[in-house]
A = this chain, B = another copy of it.
């Protein structure tokens, strides 16, 4: 069947859910990584129901047409980029909260709801859903699940797989499976819910989720800022906080370049040249005592430490951190990386980044979820194509992280940008096994082909 025939079938069965305008097609080519698929998709289908998704997959399956599932397009690894000959299947319009059970601490949602909108709906009930990517204002819960996107709170409140009890999944051939359960415990059969979390659209299309909620944390949060003469000292201090047995809710590290860029963007006074900053939040009934303990650890590690006097000061500190992404964009085109290492290895990983900057003559401003060991080094360059030297430096970065007991990606996923290093981490046997598992879900390989695994 030719491409026009596929589009005609989609239109015949799905009507105005199918968009072939240039703007829609161009938009579906890219995510927030700054990278775009080559060529233009066949069509963008905006599903409004599970049945729409099933219809799309049935047509795709019968015509052998690849499908790329897509939320809000905020991914950073190219996982949702849709190229020539492919259908972009948007879940963004399926954004209802289907059910909230405060007594059971669960919510059932459609995948297209934004993280921030979900938490806005839950807050009046005294509830929240913990996964907290920095993009929470613009990213969807479904995308969060599909990538396993964690965020700032993971060390204390867990990763995505800890916060999802069940997933409704449409398979490549259009069949609907209900995976998981609504109960706190459940071990009936294989845990396919966890397998789908972070699977980046290659196993099926997430059309619904049963989420494990938390009660809003009582008490007042405290915020601490500490500056250090260099980034390594800040990393040593962050590891010391974890090792001291205090549990921050959030602990973020900004190196000198990124801190200065954020201050510049926000029109704040320039920080001391070379200074790196740790910003830490404690919460819950022991927030005050924990904040005081952390102040002591950071001061002992040589930091200039300040406990925010009030909420306004705390908010400003967090605004600096949350403006990191736009601040990076003021420096040039960026390739943002996402390695994660054991927390004790943070100082060594910053040493490696300094070495890589030297070796390749690059600037690599880095922000880091220091509470959990997840670093986001930003490779800055000019133009739209990633230069070879940046790829070489990224390769060095990945190998360094693996040597330190780390992983390629903590929360962004593999997508297209990291697939060529996947086997380095998994080993050839596991890589092949994973590929075979994906084939069980999608024998013809029409779901997000070329993502995660090399073609």
Q: Which residues of A contact B (CB under 8 A)?
A: 101-106, 126, 147-150, 154-155, 158-159, 161-162, 175, 177-179, 181-192, 194-195, 197-199, 203, 215, 218, 239, 242-243, 245, 247, 284-286, 289, 340-344, 369, 372-374, 405-414, 418, 422, 425-427, 429-431, 433-434, 436-438, 440-441, 452
Contacts and interface: CB of A to CB of B under 8 A. Distances in A.
A152 to B, nearest CB: 11
A243 B436 contact: no
Contact of A340 (B158, B181, B434): B181
30 contacts: A103-B242, A104-B343, A150-B185, A158-B162, A161-B191, A177-B427, A182-B342, A183-B341, A183-B342, A183-B373, A183-B406, A183-B407, A184-B374, A185-B372, A186-B409, A187-B409, A188-B407, A188-B409, A188-B425, A189-B425, A189-B426, A189-B431, A189-B434, A191-B197, A191-B199, A192-B195, A192-B430, A192-B433, A192-B437, A436-B440
Given A103-B243, A286-B285, A340 B186 contact: yes
Contact of A182 (B405, B437, B441): B405
A414 B195 CA distance: 19
A167 B441 CA distance: 23
A188 B126 contact: no
Given A190-B437, A411-B187, A429-B177, A195 B195 contact: yes
A57 B411 CA distance: 35
A352 to B, nearest CB: 15
A243 B245 CA distance: 31
Given A183-B374, A373-B184, A243 B159 contact: no
Nearest to A175: B429
Nearest to A202: B190
A422 B198 CA distance: 26
Contacts of A412: 187
B154 A184 contact: yes
A184 B155 CA distance: 7
A188 B406 CA distance: 11
A147 B187 CA distance: 7
What does DSSP make chain A's interface, helix, strand, loop or mixed? loop
A184 B372 contact: yes
A342 B177 contact: no
Contact of A194 (B161, B369, B411, B413): B161
**Stoichiometry (number of copies):** 2
B190 A434 contact: yes
B245 A434 contact: no
A339 to B, nearest CB: 9
A284 B188 CA distance: 32
A198 B194 CA distance: 12
A422 B187 CA distance: 11
Contacts of A239: 103
Contact of A185 (B103, B106, B186, B410): B410
Contacts of A154: 184-185
For A104, A162, A374, A452, which residue has the most chain B Cβ atoms within 10 angstroms?
A: A104
Contact of A413 (B187, B215, B407): B187
A441 B429 CA distance: 11
B422 A433 contact: no
A433 B191 contact: no
Contacts of A158: 158, 162
A102 B243 contact: yes
Contacts of A433: 177, 192, 440-441
Contact of A247 (B181, B215, B441): B215
Contacts of A187: 147-150, 198, 409-414
A283 to B, nearest CB: 12
Contacts of A215: 245, 247
A159 B374 CA distance: 24
A125 B429 CA distance: 37
Contacts of A437: 190, 192, 437, 440
A434 B193 CA distance: 12
A406 B411 CA distance: 31
Contact of A422 (B147, B188, B342, B410): B188
Contacts of A374: 183-185
